[in-house]
């Protein structure tokens, strides 16, 4: 772990100044930031990241299952191609959802590139993205008749 440069610290300051209690800054490292927020503020935080900070695309959307805490965490990795100094930077925007009520607003309205990533997270972890234009299965077989396979209680049927 290396220490953050002024660029990342400046970004972190901008985020905390503008959003205050709505976000929690998890860590600030070289070229890496992590911000977590609640699902109510997700769209607002996303709009701020895009318009004010210049994160113009989402590199990945992934989900993590924590069965001990009964939580599913959805992580958006944001990047920016627009500004030269932002190109090597990645910001992880995390949102923790209760496991039995895993719904959150879709960020399709903010970044168009989340469409397929959110579909994948939907089928793999069972997270429902409200407002997504086409929330259907992407990679799983058409006749999949089981719980989402990346949930920890999924048991492989075997032979």
Partner 1 sequence: MVKDGGVNVLVGKLNEILVKAVAEPLQYVANWGRLYSLWPAHLETACCSVEFGAASGSRFDLERFGILEAFGSLRQCDLLVVQGSVTRKMAPRVRLIYDQMPEPKYVVAMGACSITGGLYFDSYNVLPGIDNILPVDVHVPGCPPRPEALIQGLILLQDKIRSQSELAAKIKIPQVP
| Pairs from 14-20 (Cβ < 8 Å, separation ≥ 24) | 14/52, 14/53, 15/48, 15/53, 18/48, 18/52, 19/44, 19/45, 19/48
Contact mark string toward partner 1, 90..129, x via CB under 8 A: ----------------------------------------
Nearer to partner 1, 22 or 151 (CB): 151
Nearer to partner 1, 85 or 143 (CB): 143
Contact status, residue 18 vs residue 48, Cβ threshold 8 Å:
yes
- Site residues for partner 1, 126-155, by CB under 8 A, read 139-142, 149, 154
Contact status, residue 24 vs residue 62, Cβ threshold 8 Å:
no
Per rule CB under 8 A, is residue 159 in the interface with partner 1?
yes
Per rule CB under 8 A, is residue 20 in the interface with partner 1?
no
Per rule CB under 8 A, is residue 158 in the interface with partner 1?
yes
Contact status, residue 77 vs residue 60, Cβ threshold 8 Å:
yes
CB of 159 to partner 1, least distance (A): 5
Question: Positive or negative, the Cα torsion across 106, 109, 114, 117?
Answer: positive
- Footprint of partner 1 on this chain (CB under 8 A)? 139-142, 149, 154, 156, 158-159
């Amino acid at each position: 772990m290396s220490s953050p440069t002024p660029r990342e610290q400046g970004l972190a300051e901008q985020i905390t100044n503008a959003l205050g209690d709505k976000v929690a800054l998890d860590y600030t490292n070289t070229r890496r930031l992590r911000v977590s927020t609640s699902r109510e503020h997700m769209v607002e935080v996303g709009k701020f990241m895009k318009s004010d900070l210049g994160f113009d695309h989402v590199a990945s959307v992934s989900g993590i299952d924590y069965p001990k805490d009964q939580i599913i965490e959805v992580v958006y990795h944001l990047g920016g191609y627009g500004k030269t100094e932002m190109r090597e930077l990645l910001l992880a925007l995390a949102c923790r959802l209760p496991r039995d009520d895993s719904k959150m607003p879709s960020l399709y309205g903010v970044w168009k590139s989340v469409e397929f990533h959110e579909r994948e997270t939907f089928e793999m972890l069972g997270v429902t993205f409200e407002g997504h234009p086409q929330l259907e299965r992407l990679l799983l077989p058409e006749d999949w008749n089981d719980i989402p396979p990346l949930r920890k209680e999924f048991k492989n049927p075997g032979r």
